Structure 1
Amino acid sequence: MTAVIGPPGLDTGRDRLAEVAAGTERRLAALPPPARRTPAQRAEAAAAHDEARTLRAVLVEEHAGEIYGRITADHTRYLRVDELCEAAAAEFPGLAPTPEQLAVERALPQSGKEGREIDQGILLRGVLADERSGRHLLAAMRRPTPRALRLLPEFRRTGVLTTEAVHLERRDGVARLTMCRDDCLNAEDEQQVDDMETAVDLALLDPEIRVGLIRGAPMSHPRYRGRRVFSAGINLKRLSAGGITLTGFLLRRELGYLHKILRGLHDDRPGRWQPPAEKPWLGAVDTFAIGGGFQLLLVLDHVLIAADAHLSLPAAREGIVPGVANLRLGRVAGPRLARQVILGGRRIRATDPEAALLVDEVVAPAEMDDAVERALAGLDGGAIVANRRMLTLAEEPVDDLRRYAAGFALEQALRVHATDVIDRVGRFAGRTG
């Protein structure tokens, strides 16, 4: 009888990957930097990466749970996505880029990068696809950030937080979160994500807050001076400059503050029997909600929009995946409209009939302030929280998000390093006004 030979064990696979990855680095080091490579040299680099990535993918597919278990001391350590990738690089050489390699990448424009975040995407795809490990990672991303915990005592005392991108004020039991990147129309970058997650954490941790409000501040941008704007989506200039990363923005945003708005904070205290802290959220859209601004609306409980505003997800123009919108938009608006918006770039105006599928109230611009206060009062009730929790459980089970995030981790890493995306965002970033 012929013995059946299964996949190599984790330790054997780790040693083999370390050897192949080291060879890949030697081959890359012999080539010019990515931006200066000839077509033949780019093909040579791609072949070197492909050899290591094939082996990396096999190792993660076969041993994701064991890899994650070792890194997290059998699921007792809660590591966020960036911390997990860094720990994986130390524990399993070649499995993920090292901090030093990422520092080199971070200093380069997007067009000059080696694309090492793709290796992070391979690792995170495998971890999130594994049920136990993926759930644990999602829980880690829903824990309050150290920054929020550090700021909490002062916020509890004053009820005010002002950061570069966000102003948060507690008033009458409402967390009034105002996005205030007035010079760039609240275009999102890693600073914005950090400030938004901090503000959401504080709103969820403060027992005096019952409801959250998210709105854009008046802008100083010449085209919209004095007008409130919700969000212009991802900051394409920062993406082109290399400042939008997989773990610091693209995944942190979806699995961090957006997931916290949807499900609240994760609480792992022993003996905890009560549901986690979560609160209802209202969004008020003035002028427009583009890209990530539109995506944010999909996790809110009530959305007001000014009658002269519009919504769009310009993924087709930008060449990237619009976060978790591909999972959520079809559920709320239907698959045909979701394809028109995501694949075709269709813009939805507040007065279009289809807007009724995406927002709750269309309001005359001059009446937005009063409408916001009325809607906040309607969300302020104990049964609201219990029912939103059950609605989320029915509409988006946590494993649906986990499986989606597994695919998204690699797909988005591939897209932001694709030539067509680099060319597109470079053109968008070069525009003025």
Structure 2
Amino acid sequence: MSVRVWPALQEAADRVDELVSALPEPGSRLPEERAELTAAKDAARALRTRFLQTHVDAVYDRLTAGGAEGLRIAELVAAAAAEFPALAPTAGQLAADRGRRQADKEGYEIDQGIFLRAVLDSPRAGAHLLDTMLRPTARALRLLPEFIRTGVLETASVRVERRDGTAYLTMCRDDCLNAEDDQQVDDMETAVDLALLDPGVRVGVLRGGTMTHPRYRGRRVFSAGINLKSLHAGDISLVGFLLRRELGYLHKLVRGIRTEDAPWHARTVEKPWVAAVETFAIGGGAQLLLVFDHVLAASDAYLSLPAAREGIVPGAANFRLGRHTGPRIARQVILQGRRLRAAEPDARLLIDEVVEPEEIDAAVARAVDRLRGPAVVPNRRMLNLAEEPVDEFRRYMAEFALQQALRLYGEDVVEKVGRFAEKARAR
């Protein structure tokens, strides 16, 4: 690309690569070495940002054949790295970082965040990417015939069972109280895809499975949020977890799935969703509730969003929570870590129905029955259109892509997840 910024960007990116090759491993660098590399990275990132502000649509068209090809975010950043190595980290650079603890990584995901912020901020490229992310995954399409035949899917972290026209999704990572990682995101998107694609399913239900953890043995737990142990180990990725989660299965819960089987009068296949919370919904678990049509909770359950305390951004909760609670409570929950117990009045802004723990099954059945009506889907579509306009979501996710990438490598985050991992090892 013959523009003035491009040669300077290539030179700056090459300088970063030279320093990384010449310096010791990240955990062994002296303060002055770290400072020199940080300055070089900052210079390249400033030029990368300037270039993309002007040329992102041209870059996106080059990578997607003018929009004729739909590339999911992982495919898109890989294609960008292959075609324009100065714009995104290469496969080799990412492979070198893989397996390192979060504290010892080079921070290449920040460069992915810069690239994806520019793409999502573009009305044309961003809309095309969001549309692509609403399409079913290859894994789901491969599993669909067998699921339609049997009505059952078992994955490492999610079980799906179709009964009487309802898809029951159960999160079953009892080793970590349903804390989320890359594997869980992949399994959840597969499960949501199957529920939306299966013509025999009219309503979806999400619950936590029964735990074997000594403290919660025999009890259902909805979700403990992000897996901090995996984050410390460097196994929580910006693209494969944090962005795929929001643009993939969570957005599909809101908008439905893009498929050739969608009716002529709708762009997607949508279905209503019920969530049932037992014990707690922490972090990402609480974020999930914001996209469901009906939320049930046991009277002894609680919700919390401790992301600010952990040092990260709680997904799209900053975008959605205030719509439910108003701005003051949203700030209390997100910025100050306020915990909402299901039985308190403010929690009813997020929970439709609170019942005694032994009554959850019956309450789920009643909610499913209410959401089977033929007018439910068109009305939920209109509600979501009014409450969460897709362009506003796109702009939020553009900024989230970069801010969350920066937070992943914040010194406070690295320190906190390190302390968490040490406590977990000591137990």
- Secondary structure of 1:343's counterpart equals helix
CA RMSD across the alignment: 1.4
Of 223, 232, 237, 1:231 maps to 223
Alignment gaps of 5+ in structure 1: 1-8
Structure 2: how far apart are the matches of 1:40 and 1:424? 24
Of 114, 130, 134, 2:106 maps to 114
Is the aligned partner of 1:52 residue 2:44?
Answer: yes
Structure 1: how far apart are the matches of 2:279 and 2:142? 35
Pairing of 1:8-19 with structure 2 (within 5 A): 13-19=5-11
Structure 1: how far apart are the matches of 2:204 and 2:261? 25
Structure 2: how far apart are the matches of 1:97 and 1:222? 43
CA distances 1:124-148 after superposition (whole Å, capped 9, x unpaired): 0000000010000001111100000
Tell me which residue corresponds to 1:6. Answer: none
TM-score of the superposed pair, with normalisation by structure 2: 0.97
Structure 1: how far apart are the matches of 2:193 and 2:391? 23
Range that drifts further, 388-397 or 269-278: 269-278
Of 25, 30, 36, 2:17 maps to 25
Tell me which residue corresponds to 2:234. Answer: 242
Tell me which residue corresponds to 1:430. Answer: 422
Q: CA deviation at 1:18?
A: 2.3
- What amino acid sits opposite 1:303 in the alignment? V
- What amino acid sits opposite 1:167 in the alignment? R
Pairing of 1:226-375 with structure 2 (within 5 A): 226-267=218-259, 272-375=264-367
8 Å Cα contact 1:174/1:210 also seen in 2: yes
8 Å Cα contact 2:304/2:339 also seen in 1: yes
Q: CA deviation at 1:263?
A: 0.4
8 Å Cα contact 2:136/2:259 also seen in 1: no
Q: CA deviation at 1:430?
A: 2.2
- Secondary structure of 1:421's counterpart equals helix
CA distances 1:343-364 after superposition (whole Å, capped 9, x unpaired): 0000000111101101000100
Alignment gaps of 5+ in structure 2: none
Q: CA deviation at 1:335?
A: 0.3
Structure 2: how far apart are the matches of 1:281 and 1:273? 21
Q: CA deviation at 1:13?
A: 3.8
8 Å Cα contact 2:157/2:171 also seen in 1: yes
Structure 2: how far apart are the matches of 1:406 and 1:340? 24
- Secondary structure of 1:176's counterpart equals strand
Structure 2: how far apart are the matches of 1:423 and 1:412? 16
Of 92, 105, 114, 1:100 maps to 92
- Secondary structure of 1:423's counterpart equals helix
Of 162, 167, 175, 1:175 maps to 167
| CA separation of 1:115 and 1:371: change in aligned 2, threshold 3 A | same
Pairing of 1:404-419 with structure 2 (within 5 A): 404-419=396-411
Range that drifts further, 216-225 or 262-271: 262-271
- Secondary structure of 1:248's counterpart equals helix
Range that drifts further, 39-48 or 125-134: 39-48
Tell me which residue corresponds to 1:124. Answer: 116
Pairing of 1:44-193 with structure 2 (within 5 A): 44-193=36-185
Q: CA deviation at 1:23?
A: 1.8
Structure 2: how far apart are the matches of 1:44 and 1:193? 37
- Secondary structure of 1:351's counterpart equals coil
Tell me which residue corresponds to 2:199. Answer: 207
The count of aligned residue pairs is 425
- What amino acid sits opposite 2:399 in the alignment? G
Structure 2: how far apart are the matches of 1:376 and 1:397? 26
- Secondary structure of 2:33's counterpart equals helix
| CA separation of 1:115 and 1:268: change in aligned 2, threshold 3 A | farther
Percent identity among equivalent residues? Answer: 63
| CA separation of 1:267 and 1:29: change in aligned 2, threshold 3 A | same
8 Å Cα contact 2:250/2:291 also seen in 1: yes
- What amino acid sits opposite 2:209 in the alignment? A
8 Å Cα contact 1:118/1:413 also seen in 2: yes
8 Å Cα contact 1:10/1:63 also seen in 2: no
- Secondary structure of 2:207's counterpart equals strand
8 Å Cα contact 2:103/2:414 also seen in 1: yes
Structure 2: how far apart are the matches of 1:128 and 1:245? 18
| CA separation of 1:361 and 1:273: change in aligned 2, threshold 3 A | closer
Q: CA deviation at 1:275?
A: 3.5
- What amino acid sits opposite 1:210 in the alignment? R
Tell me which residue corresponds to 2:35. Answer: 43
Q: CA deviation at 1:270?
A: 11
- What amino acid sits opposite 2:283 in the alignment? G
Q: CA deviation at 1:260?
A: 0.3
| CA separation of 1:10 and 1:180: change in aligned 2, threshold 3 A | farther
Range that drifts further, 266-275 or 237-246: 266-275
